Amino acid sequence: MQPKKLSNGSWQVRYRDLEKKQRARNFEKKKDAEDFIIQLKHELRSGIYVDSRDAEATLESFWEEFFALKQEKKPSTKYDYQSMWKVHLQPKWGKTAVGRIKQDAFDIWILGLGLSASRTNKIHLLASMILDKAVRDGNLRSNPIKNATGQRQKSNLPKIQKREIGMVHTLDELVRIAKCAGRFEDYILFLGLCGVRWGEFAALQVQDLDLEKGTVFVHQSVSEISGKLIFTDSTKTHEDRTIYLMDFLRQKAPSWVEGKQPTDPLFASPEGKVLRNSNFTRRTYQPAMIAAGVIKKRVHDLRWTMISISASEGIEQNLVREQVGHSKAYMTAAYTKVFEKDRHIGLEKLNNAVYEVHKKCTPDGLQGLDLVENYANTASVSGESEVEPFESKVRQEDYESAALTG
């Protein structure tokens, strides 16, 4: 591969790309053409070659196919993708060539939107996924809003505060809120003690409750999108599960199905219809929290509450994970908040253990310390260059084992 001088005095490099298509690039100087050939050979050998004309494809040219690949996602997720694209990404970046998108410019724009940290992160994620498709299609060498290790570059994005991630009620608060909810007491207790997602809760039907076994079968979900309720025949993790009711709820369960048909909602609105999160929060949950004197939290925080209360009561984590339907154990751990009372209980246990061990460490049990001092003095006077192992001098058990064995 050699540069060819053209009649107009410029230099041309002709080559075939990774798909064996004929390409040509012109340069004013021979040195620039030769440098291009060196870089080109490296990119072709390593498989990272991208023609500059391919990088001129616009971001919106990848959107339709990207979205088409997401049809198996939940309706709420697809709606969220469309909303972020139409409202934010398309107006600003839709007509922009993917090769011209730079991290700093993108970060300045997204920060200027002034949105919450959570929403900002979601828009950034969506843009990154679309750019990943451009990389897979061979229009980009690398994603401009990812770092060298392939991780999203989020150092400039606002940090999501812990209070935005999840808050929990204590067991006492949960019961007080439920008591203040009137006829909806069992609704809040079920959410706070069973840990189901709202969409799963609202989609439950009478036929999903087995009174004899004391179980509830969770196998579908419902989302509220633009005022419409959309049912899906699976849960978020696409896995059905059976929830076992504690005796406290099991005794209440017969009243949930009284006078209802098998396909009626197990927990219905006052009109007997499928519950809506927004209405339930505004009309029932928030007023109940105010009446109970509790700081307002989201309905979804009742899921965090169940997981955290279970951890506080010492219930094995895998049992909790199966009950709430987490696909991975680390998710259950991430949902677990430590109550203030448990901090004090834990410190008190540690404090008592220290006192107990400390009392057992009597002077008689610590005679080995005299040997330490005598040995050190002897070694210093004799000027020994090689110190004999301490274990051969002191046969007394170490401090902790002596204390624990009395």
SS3 of 41-106: HHHHHHCCCCCCCHHHCECHHHHHHHHHCCCCCCHHHHHHHHHHHHHHHHHHHCCCEHHHCCHHHH
**Would you tell me how many other CB atoms lie within 10 Å of the CB of residue 379?**
15
- Residue that is written with structure tokens 């007509």 in the block: 95
Residue 80 · residue 147 · CB < 8 Å: no
28-32, 106-110, 159-163, 194-198: least confidently modelled range: 159-163
Residue 76's pLDDT band (boundaries 50, 70, 90)? confident
pLDDT, greater one: 383 or 327: 327
Q: What is the pLDDT of residue 31?
A: 85
Strands 4-5 and 241-244: unpaired
Determine the straight-line distance between the first and last CA of the chain, rounded to whole angstroms: 84
List Cβ neighbours of 192 (8 Å cut-off, separation of 6 or more).
169, 174, 178, 302, 305, 306, 309
**Which pTM value belongs to this model?**
0.68
pLDDT reported for residue 366? 56
What is the structure's pLDDT at 302? 95
Model confidence over 344-393: pLDDT tens digits? 888 888 888 888 888 877 666 555 556 556 666 666 655 555 545 544 44
What distance in Å separates the CA atoms of residue 28 and residue 5, rounded to the nearest whole number?
Answer: 10
Token pair 């709420």 is found at 76
Confidence class of residue 401 from pLDDT cuts 50, 70 and 90? Answer: very low
Size (the chain), residues: 406
- Per residue, the 3-state secondary structure of 147-213, as one string, reads CCCCCECCCCCCCCCHHHHCCCCCHHHHHHHHHCCHHHHHHHHHHHHHCCCHHHHHHCEHHHEECCC
The pLDDT, as a whole number, for residue 29 is 84
pLDDT of residue 396: 45
pLDDT on residue 404: 41
Could you tell me the residue ranges of all domains in the chain?
4-49, 72-163, 171-338, 344-405
User: What is the per-residue pLDDT across 234-272, written as a single tens digit (0 to 9) for each?
Assistant: 888 889 999 999 999 999 999 999 999 999 999 999 999
Q: Which two tokens stand for residue 168?
A: 């929990």
- Sheet containing 22-27: which strands, arranged edge to edge? 4-5, 11-16, 22-27
Closest CA to 267 of 284, 286, 248: 284
Domain 72-163 belongs to what architecture?
Orthogonal Bundle (1.10)
- From residue 274, give the alpha-carbon distance in Å to each of 108, 199, 252, 287: 43, 10, 20, 20
Architecture of the domain delimited by 171-338: Orthogonal Bundle (1.10)
pLDDT at 284 over 80: yes
Measure the CA–CA gap between 258 and 253, rounded to whole angstroms: 9
Q: How far apart are CA 107 and CA 92, in angstroms?
A: 13
CA distance 359 to 178: 47
